[in-house]
Amino acid sequence: MSDFKNLKIETEDRISLVTIDRPAVLNALNKETLEDLQEAFQGGLNGQDVAAVILTGSGEKAFVAGADVSELVHLDPLEARSKSIRGQKVFEMIESFPKPVIGAINGYCLGGGCELALACHVRLMAKDAKIGLPEVKLGLIPGYGGTQRLSRLVGKGRAMEMVLSGKSLSAGEAERIGLVNRVVALQNLIPECRELASKILANGPLAVRYSIEVINNGLEMPFDEASRLEATFFALSCATEDSKEGIRSFMEKRKPQFKGK
C-alpha cells in the first residue's frame, strides 16, 4: 500500500486500521487528507488482503476535529461548491465501500469529522468523546453530506436541532439517539472494533457486500422498490457457492468455510 502523508495504515488478520494522522491540528481534514483517503479506498484497501476497515484518529484527543478552517478563508462560492462536491464524493465512496467500514471515534468528532463518521457503516465511540456539526457557529452549513446522512440516521427533528444549534453531543447522548452504535472505554475502543470486524468476517463475504449495497441503496428508494431490490440480491445470494456451504454447515453443525464465491 502506498505511503501517505496524513494516513497510517496497518493491516493484521485482513483488518486494516486506518489512522488519520495530523495530531498537531486534531486531525483536521484538509485537501491532502481527503486525497489520501480517496487513494487508500480506491487502492490498497480494495485489495484481496483487506476484508474490513477500522477508521480512527491519531492520539487520544480527536477522531477528526473538523475541516481545516485555514483552507476556507479565501474560498469564493464556486471554489466552495467544488470543495464540497469533492469531499462528498470521497465520503460517498467510503459509504458505498463493499467491505465493512467501522468508525472508531476516539475523541472530538466535529464538523467534517462527524460527516466522515456518518459515512462509516458502523460507529463505536469512546465514552469521553464528543460529536456534532458546529458549522453554523462559523456562519456555514455542513458540506460533506452531513445534513443528509444525519437526518436519515437520527430523524429530521433531531438532525434539525443538532445542525441549527451547532451543539455537540456526549457519547451517551449519541448512543441514545442512534447516532453511534455503542459506547466503550477509550482503551477498549480499537479492540472492540477489531472484535466486531472479526465477527462480520466470519460471515459470507458476498452476503456482507450485498447487505451493504441493499441497505445503502434501499434507503433512497420507495419501500416497494427497495423490497424488490432486496429480493433481487437475496436471489443472487442464493446462487452463490457460499450460500450452499453456509446451509450445509448449519445442517452438519460445523463452522462454514466461505470462499467469497
Active site residues: 115, 135
Phi, psi of 82 (to 5 degrees): -65, -40
Among 54, 60, 3, 10, which residue's Cα sits nearest to residue 32? 3
